[in-house]
Amino acid sequence: MPAITGTTRVFYILGDPVAQARTPEVYNPLFQRHGIDAVVVPLKLPAAALPGFLQHGMAAENVRGFWATIPHKSALAALLKPEDPVAAVAGAVNAVRRCENGRLEAALFDGIGFVKGLDHFGIAVRNRRVLVVGAGGGAHAVAAALAQRAPARLAVFNRSAERARSLVQRLQTLTGTAAEVAGSADPAGFDLVVNCTPLGLQPDDPLPFDPARVDAGAAVVDIIMSREPTPLLRACRARGLQAEPGYEMLVQQVPEFLRFFGFEDVAQALQGDLSELRALLQPK
């Protein structure tokens, strides 16, 4: 670890809890390897302390920004009113930067990480029929990013129809009438099906939809951030379908975070060769 001095740019990862966050394990080695005088420090910040932290904790000129995890993503969006359209639709942010004039700018990178993952896998969205299963926080970010890529149809299913309708109303600001509420989780008739539910985190979870109903030639992507395929993905692959895990979503966000925080050269270098990043993200 290099010496921390008065010139070191300080970043935080905010959460409560925050012990599980691997952000320092990823970015501090990147800063060191690329000769950047910066450090990421975890802060366990209770939800009630967030407004005061934004006002006072971010006033220090050498504090340049922070990553955010639970429970702060939605509260930050409400407080900072992000201009990023994906963050506005999702009602959440996971990064905040301090501008030279002290103004705080917020953005969300879950969605762009997801669609860049689709690019990595060679899965197209434009003019395709897309089904998003689930309407939680992750689904909001993913669906908003998909909406920006002009799908022919963007359907959302959720067990709570009201929650699905709420998300679709937000999506229609980006994609118009292409966004709609799906009557069921039936994947038939779609070119891309995205599991945005937590089903698959546990080995005995039921499947979020019937893999036998996925069209031949369609792709299935699960946003559960595991390197290993979930039972859903294994069932789809057994049929010869392209079925990809959510781990790539995590990988592809990193250059975007670096770019947002002003490290354009490092972001470009990593995007050209993600092997260094994949090694850092290997599970412990």
- Would you name the residues annotated as active-site residues? 73
Alpha-helical segments (H) within 122-190: 137-147, 161-175
How many Cβ atoms from other residues are within 10 Å of residue 33's Cβ? 11
| Structure tokens given for 91 | 């009602």
CA distance 55 to 253: 27
Alpha helices in 122-238 (DSSP H): 137-147, 161-175, 231-238
Starting at the earlier edge strand, list the strands of the sheet with 129-133: 179-181, 153-157, 129-133, 192-195, 219-222, 242-244
